[in-house]
Amino acid sequence: MQAPLLLASTSKYRAERLASLGLSFTQAAPHCDESPLPGELPDALALRLAHNKAQSLSGEFPDHVIIGSDQTAAAPDGSLLSKPGTRERACHQLLACSGQAVTFYSGVALAGPVQDAWLVTTEVRFRRLTRREVERYVAAEQPLDCAGSFKAEALGITLFDWIRSDDPNALIGLPLISLAQRLRQSNYQLP
């Protein structure tokens, strides 16, 4: 019998993406500090947070395979693009990314009876954006809790010239291609 799956996330988008695989799972809020460590690079942060989120629920759900994920973004200069928190910071981030390529790191970790962790990289090129377009977008979507200040699953997709990734789901924060591969390796039934 397969261990039950648990998604360590409060994100409805991640839950919808996981549900699209046709697997039964429950969802719970992870317990971890998401602050970056001094000098921590965006890719290392995404992987550490995914691991910490999955591990934070392992004591509470010892018989579950727990899926933790997190995403970070690196500006063209390699610095971390944080969750903006305010409209002003979101507009500033988007204008700074205008016409630039930005790298997103989606970390995924499995805890419990199955242990694994990996990173999926996505590169996005923002089209040239005007202040008016950015302000209109931020007012419409309110992407204040999103790394990079956009939601690719909605209007944020209109901000890009292109997206490059081995997994198009990674930009929404849960890389389903690699997750499905790992779950199949652990004998979960997927088509």
| Token representation of residue 34 | 């998401």
Task: Report how far residue 49's alpha carbon sits from residue 38's, in angstroms, rounded to the nearest whole number.
Answer: 14
Task: Report how far residue 105's alpha carbon sits from residue 122's, in angstroms, rounded to the nearest whole number.
Answer: 6
Q: Catalytic site residues?
A: 70
- Reduce the DSSP state of residue 180 to 3 states and report it: helix
Task: Report how far residue 129's alpha carbon sits from residue 142's, in angstroms, rounded to the nearest whole number.
Answer: 17
Amino acid of residue 57: L
Q: DSSP states of 72-113 as a string?
A: EEE-TTS-EE----SHHHHHHHHHHHTT-EEEEEEEEEEESS
